[in-house]
Structure 1
Amino acid sequence: MKETHTVRTVAVYDETGIFAGHCQHGFVLALINMVKSGELAKYVFVLLALVCRVLGPEIVKLILGYDIGCHFYKMVMRHLHTSNLLNDHEFLALVGLFHGTAHDCLCQTRNLPKYQDNVGLEEFEECETFFSESNALAARTRYSTAFHCWQAFVMWTEHKDHFQTYGQLFHTLATKYWHALAIIAEAPVLAWLISELNGTTPTTLEGWLKAEREYLSSLKKEPEEETLQMEYYQALVNFYNAKEAADGLRSNVAGLQFVEESGANRMGAKSATRRFETNQRHVYERENKCLEAVRYLEAHLELVERWQPGAENWTQAQVLVSKHHYQLVLDKLESLVVARLLELWKINIPGTGYKLRKHIAKVMQACSKAVRTALANYNAAAAALKSLRPPLEWEAIIEYSFLAEFDLLRFSRRDVRSEPWAQGSGCAAMDLYFKILQAKEEIQQLNAEIRCLYTYMCNEDLAHQVELYHQEHSRFNSEHHCCLEKLCKEAGCTAVLEPGTALSKEHDVPLLAAAEEEMPDAARAEVLCAAESEVEGAEDVDAETVADSLELVLWIADDVGGDGGAGL
């Protein structure tokens, strides 16, 4: 086999990075090798399947934050394996907080965490911190083998989880708690903003969010009725042009005369005739194709008579088509400018950090190029219209601070300058309202997490004492088993090697109080018997674990020695 064919095939499996999944506290849930194919959705499918398999039916609602969370939910529901895993869970795929500064406004209103229930103040940006800290490993593993590079990364991850993430867990929870309390303390500010907006209630603010979604969705496509009329008009124009060309060709064919050529001119005349016949066939086919399109649209629009040039409906459709291109470029420009204004407003929010401001500024610089292109297309389309449309300059756009100042919006299909959610005070009230809602949910979630952390710390001490007690007494159990089995095999021995029930409950296996009272004696005996069996088999499991570990060490040593690599 040629090397050029195998190099590309083998290179597909080259590791190019790490795909990591984290919980909301920063602990690593899974690490997955990314091969040369790059970051694909399959890695998230693996992570999602792993979480569902480990947690099982205990998890009620699973919320995933991902860069393409706006599209990932549909991918998960279409996937056969993951859709079956999530049948028993309430699944929600969102985007990270920084995603809002690099995507369209419609996606923000649908998939940002601050507009979702039971999410709290979670940002879903743990991977940014994780990979920022892991950059220190790059210099140490630059010339390492794939095995040692992966080994160093795993060891660093374990150290980070055990000593950094867990060591700062209380600080993380406390910081979130203080942040939530600070947001809730701004409730008087929200009340003042609502009082300034006459007739506004919390329910009204939620309605504004829906209105903003509907408006942004309307910019994605044109009205269906206008679209059909313009398609029919364009089909008629194409048909009349094709019919005119076909009629002219028919008249030319009728006036042709046969001239017999001989010699060298005969071959040239034959080629010219073939070209003429081919062109004639194409013209007739184009005419028939345009006629079929016209008939299809007439049946779809349920038209009785065909539109004729100069008629009223023809003129109206002609005006719509004339404005079609202008409306498209206007919608594109409007969408970009609205997104820019909303992101510009985010920069001026009190409490926005320096890094977040820089990040938003860089994204806005990249978006400015798209705005300039859309602006040039708009000015060209506006100049082509017979009606007067004022040209727009770049200097005017960059001076806008609110949607109400965007005068060009009055030429769009819907004037939104007077909408309350487009005003500065309305945007501030909506943002603060949803922040306070999320802060209250965050407090409830943190109360449960703090209780779990405290219980975990208490259980850790108790588990350590139980383990010490078990190690002291279980070391002789195997010898006791052997001696008792030999004794029972002796003639005349009537002893029975079956677990019994202790007279004192202090020696029973710990059970829940309610279950212990309701459980019958026979069922309690089965539980005690199973618990005793687990204690007896613990030493066998430890022996098997040690044997497996030794076997793994020997296998790695043989593998490294055979390949000529460095030892561990």
Structure 2
Amino acid sequence: MGSLNVSQRWRAVASCTLIFCGFIFFLQFIINSAKYGLAAVNKVLDVCGNDQAIGHDIACSSRKTIAASSIGCKAEELRLQLVINAFHGFSHNHRCQLENHPLYLAGLGIEDLETCECIFASSNSTAPLIRHASHFHWVQFLDLHFEKWDTDKYLELSRFLYNNYVQALQIIECYSVELEELKQCKDLVDADFLKWRDEESEYLGQVATEPTADTIAVAYVENLEKLKHAEFVFGTIICGIFLMLAPLERCTAVSLRFHSSLTCLPTLRIPRV
């Protein structure tokens, strides 16, 4: 089981690929580019063979990148599966989670695919030593650190496998009874849970864009609100003579007003010369 993460570290980007038990498969200090991720995936396929799963923060996007690359056919033939890491996956939209999150996929067990985050967090301890070091010593200390990481993981391998096995058995023992009771109470079978996931994914795909009827209804309500606001702001103008009368009536009203204004003017006396 692989976990491919790309993370910024001091002067370079570290691409770290791991196998299931936390061992570092290979580590690259690279400039950020998609081709290095493709090289890592190609290496995993060459060494590990078919039916591999790779965890990636943006597996939904990297799947398209791999499919469009020169190793796309190779990845498809070897049935490569790309999965979003458990922690990062919850930042994706729900439809993406249904398709790519390990919580909804079979074959991943209790693996969260976040081992790279643990490795990068541990590598922070080397920062005080290499912060002002030359590039040679910078790489030297990091190589020493990751070599020590692999040694420690190898020593703890048996304990790691045992603890995971015990944890899996506890989960099965604790929840199997409750699950069976729920299935009997609701008259469900195992296939129903998978069907619900597929139905939810299909529904979310259909509501990705708003229906035309809803769009028209919302636009109509918005225009009504604009009309109400306009009537409130310009209400005094609506009561004016030019908006309330027909064109002929407007002319008559204007003539009457003009005539009445003339009668109110004082008489002017022009002196004789």
TM-score (norm 2): 0.72
Higher share of residues assigned strand: 2
Q: Does 1:210 align with 2:198?
A: yes
Deviates more, 1:111-120 or 1:209-218: 111-120
Distance 1:17 1:138 in 2: 15
Instruction: For residue 222 of structure 1, report the CA deviation from its aligned partner.
Output: 3.5
2:165 to 139, 155, 177: 177
Counterpart in 2 of 1:53? 46
Counterpart in 1 of 2:68? 78
Instruction: For residue 320 of structure 1, report the CA deviation from its aligned partner.
Output: 5.7
Report the CA distance shift for 1:140/1:115 in structure 2 as closer, same or farther (over 3 A): same
Pairwise mapping of residues 76-475 of structure 1 onto structure 2 (< 5 A)? 76-80=66-70, 82-86=71-75, 88-162=77-151, 164-185=152-173, 186-197=175-186, 199-223=187-211, 226=212, 321-325=215-219, 384=225
Report the CA distance shift for 1:159/1:325 in structure 2 as closer, same or farther (over 3 A): farther
Q: Does 1:67 align with 2:57?
A: yes
Distance 2:38 2:64 in 1: 12
Instruction: For residue 73 of structure 1, report the CA deviation from its aligned partner.
Output: 1.3
Gaps of 5+ in 1: 1-13, 227-318, 327-379, 387-568
Q: Could you give the per-residue CA deviations for residues 498-551 of structure 1, whole angstroms, max 9, x where no partner exists?
A: xxxxxxxxxxxxxxxxxxxxxxxxxxxxxxxxxxxxxxxxxxxxxxxxxxxxxx
Distance 1:190 1:150 in 2: 51
Tell me if structure 1 keeps the 8 A contact 2:66–2:72. yes
Of all paired residues, the percent bearing the same amino acid is 25
Tell me if structure 1 keeps the 8 A contact 2:183–2:189. yes
Q: Secondary structure at the match of 2:183?
A: helix
Report the CA distance shift for 1:79/1:325 in structure 2 as closer, same or farther (over 3 A): farther
Distance 2:215 2:74 in 1: 50
Instruction: For residue 159 of structure 1, report the CA deviation from its aligned partner.
Output: 1.4
Report the CA distance shift for 1:167/1:77 in structure 2 as closer, same or farther (over 3 A): same
Tell me if structure 1 keeps the 8 A contact 2:16–2:25. yes
Q: Does 1:28 align with 2:24?
A: yes
Q: Secondary structure at the match of 1:174?
A: helix
Distance 1:87 1:213 in 2: 23
Q: Secondary structure at the match of 1:20?
A: strand
Q: Could you give the per-residue CA deviations for residues 220-249 of structure 1, whole angstroms, max 9, x where no partner exists?
A: 1245xx4xxxxxxxxxxxxxxxxxxxxxxx
Q: Could you give the per-residue CA deviations for residues 47-100 of structure 1, whole angstroms, max 9, x where no partner exists?
A: 112222334xxx2212110011012112111102x1243354111111000123
Q: Secondary structure at the match of 1:190?
A: helix
Gaps of 5+ in 2: 1-9, 228-273
Q: Could you give the per-residue CA deviations for residues 163-202 of structure 1, whole angstroms, max 9, x where no partner exists?
A: x1101111110111011101111200111222343x3222
Q: Aligned-pair RMSD on alpha carbons? A: 2.5
Distance 2:29 2:222 in 1: 50
Q: Secondary structure at the match of 2:52?
A: strand
Distance 2:95 2:89 in 1: 10
Distance 1:113 1:124 in 2: 9
Q: Could you give the per-residue CA deviations for residues 236-270 of structure 1, whole angstroms, max 9, x where no partner exists?
A: xxxxxxxxxxxxxxxxxxxxxxxxxxxxxxxxxxx
Instruction: For residue 131 of structure 1, report the CA deviation from its aligned partner.
Output: 0.7
Tell me if structure 2 keeps the 8 A contact 1:61–1:90. yes
Pairwise mapping of residues 468-487 of structure 1 onto structure 2 (< 5 A)? none
Tell me if structure 2 keeps the 8 A contact 1:322–1:385. no
How many residue pairs get aligned? The number is 217
Distance 1:193 1:156 in 2: 49
Q: Could you give the per-residue CA deviations for residues 434-480 of structure 1, whole angstroms, max 9, x where no partner exists?
A: xxxxxxxxxxxxxxxxxxxxxxxxxxxxxxxxxxxxxxxxxxxxxxx
Instruction: For residue 122 of structure 1, report the CA deviation from its aligned partner.
Output: 1.5
Report the CA distance shift for 1:204/1:87 in structure 2 as closer, same or farther (over 3 A): closer
Instruction: For residue 123 of structure 1, report the CA deviation from its aligned partner.
Output: 1.0
Q: Secondary structure at the match of 1:138?
A: helix
Instruction: For residue 385 of structure 1, report the CA deviation from its aligned partner.
Output: 9.7
Q: Secondary structure at the match of 1:123?
A: coil
Q: Secondary structure at the match of 1:131?
A: helix
- Which letter maps to 1:323? A
Instruction: For residue 160 of structure 1, report the CA deviation from its aligned partner.
Output: 1.3
TM-score (norm 1): 0.36
- Which letter maps to 1:148? H
